[in-house]
Amino acid sequence: VYLYFCGGTSMLNSATGCAAIQKDSTSGELGVFVEEGSEAKAYAGKGGAAIGGGTGAAGQNIIINGGVWKGTLRADAAFTGGGGAGIGGGANAAGSNISINGGTVTAIGTGGGANAAGSYLSVNDGIVSASSTGRSAAAGIGGGAGAPGSYITVSGGTLTATGGTTTTDVYVAGA
């Protein structure tokens, strides 16, 4: 499933236990593309990721922007304090195979939700800010509270990551 946000600002809010843009299935992929000059804001319900899995559901195979799609995306799971990732798994669920390919992306909790690992996360282009708040305990980038993050690759763009917990096997291309 591919979602395209064009023109102006779009805001999505979800119910308790759900993601604003939900993908619980392990098959297929979810693409979220925001047109340059446009903005999309996704706010998770308590326990869900902003983009990815609902409570207890993994968020995987997610693509954010790319090519000419370089708009602004805010994925906020800390808004309700429920433990989901900004982009990735809901509370107590992993996030994996997540690729950010351009634009300006702010993700509050990226990768694993609280108590869950985050793996195979890549930033290939764009300006990415990934952070964790004390309320959500999900990852800034990588694993959530009490779980490792692994195979995090930055091959282009700018990444600022704050918060989170132990992260291992971090690879930075060209370093």
What pLDDT is recorded for position 167? 44
Q: For residue 104, name the pLDDT band (cuts at 50, 70, 90).
A: very high
Q: Would you call 63 exposed, middle or buried from its count of C-beta atoms within 10 A (0-12, 13-18, 19+)?
A: middle
Summarised one tens digit per residue, pLDDT across range 49-73 is 899 988 888 889 999 998 889 999 9
Quote the distance between the C-alpha of residue 69 and its chain's center: 17
Phi-psi region of 137 (alpha: psi -120 to 50; beta: other; left: phi over 0): left
What pLDDT is recorded for position 137? 67
Average pLDDT score over the chain: 83
**Is residue 48 within 8 Å of 21, Cβ to Cβ?**
no
Q: Give the tokens for residue 34.
A: 């925001």
CA distance 44 to 155: 28
Q: For residue 163, name the pLDDT band (cuts at 50, 70, 90).
A: low
Mean pLDDT value across residues 112-128:
84
What pLDDT is recorded for position 166? 43
pTM: 0.86
